């Protein structure tokens, strides 16, 4: 997404002094880790729409800083790598909310709810009850893994936080129904 912009000469000198091979490697690993857990077109770990890969995001972040599209201010953020992590996070966030990702959904043929090694009959029963609702199962999985905030869950799933609010309400209704059914049995 590089466009015409300018970089101050003192910033360019600082950029020229960087160990770009190491930064590119670390930034690519960071991007790969971020992408691995997100939902793309309705499937966790599916390729990013448009074929963008972690290395592409890392290279684009560096190019945007060098071109001045993204303005690095060493006085505000002295650690360039941390700043570049933020640029990559921003690009991933934009990809998560892009129309191509949010409007196009496909079924994951290898989808399985949580591995049932959690030794909790109640939980296993509830997950079986909602297994035909993959987004709901994913919300439960993320909550079980310690993600609680809707923004955090939304980022992990590539959804809007309001969608997570609705899924959490739906989960509570399904849980209430499940508990009622158990009590009647």
pLDDT in tens, 85-96: 989 988 887 777
For the ranges 12-21, 114-123, 126-135, the lowest mean pLDDT is seen at 114-123
CB 156 within 8 Å of CB 38: yes
The runs of H, that is alpha helices, within the chain are 9-16, 20-36, 54-67, 80-97, 99-103, 121-129, 134-144, 150-157, 161-184
The residue assigned the tokens 């890969």 is 53
pLDDT of amino acid 165: 87
By percentage, how much of the chain surpasses pLDDT 90? 17
Average pLDDT over residues 154-181: 88
pLDDT of amino acid 116: 35
CB 36 within 8 Å of CB 156: no
pLDDT surpasses 80 at 8: yes
pLDDT of amino acid 58: 93
By percentage, how much of the chain surpasses pLDDT 70? 77
How far, in Å, CA of 179 to CA of 185, rounded? 10
pLDDT surpasses 70 at 174: yes
CB 102 within 8 Å of CB 41: no
Q: 129 pLDDT band (50/70/90 cuts)?
A: confident
CB 31 within 8 Å of CB 58: yes
Average pLDDT over residues 7-18: 90
Angle at 180 between CA 175 and CA 183, to 5 degrees: 125
pLDDT surpasses 70 at 70: yes
pLDDT of amino acid 1: 46
pLDDT surpasses 60 at 105: no
Q: 110 pLDDT band (50/70/90 cuts)?
A: very low
CB 176 within 8 Å of CB 169: no
pLDDT of amino acid 102: 52
How far, in Å, CA of 89 to CA of 145, rounded? 21
């Amino acid at each position: 997404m590089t466009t015409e912009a300018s970089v101050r000469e003192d910033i360019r000198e600082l950029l020229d002094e960087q160990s770009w091979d190491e930064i590119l490697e670390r930034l690519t690993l960071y991007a790969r880790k971020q992408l691995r857990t997100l939902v793309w077109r309705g499937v966790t770990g599916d390729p990013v729409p448009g074929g963008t890969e972690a290395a592409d995001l890392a290279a684009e972040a560096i190019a945007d800083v060098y071109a001045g599209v993204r303005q690095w201010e060493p006085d505000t953020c002295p650690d360039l790598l941390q700043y570049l992590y933020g640029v990559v996070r921003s690009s991933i966030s934009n990809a998560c909310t892009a129309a191509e990702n949010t409007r196009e959904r496909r079924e994951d043929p290898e989808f399985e709810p949580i591995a049932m090694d959690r030794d909790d009959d109640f939980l296993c029963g509830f997950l079986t009850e909602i297994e035909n609702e993959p987004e709901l199962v994913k919300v439960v999985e993320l909550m079980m893994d310690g993600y609680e905030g809707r923004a955090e869950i939304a980022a992990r799933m590539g959804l809007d936080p309001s969608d997570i609010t609705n899924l959490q309400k739906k989960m509570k209704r399904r849980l209430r129904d499940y508990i009622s059914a158990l009590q009647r049995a």
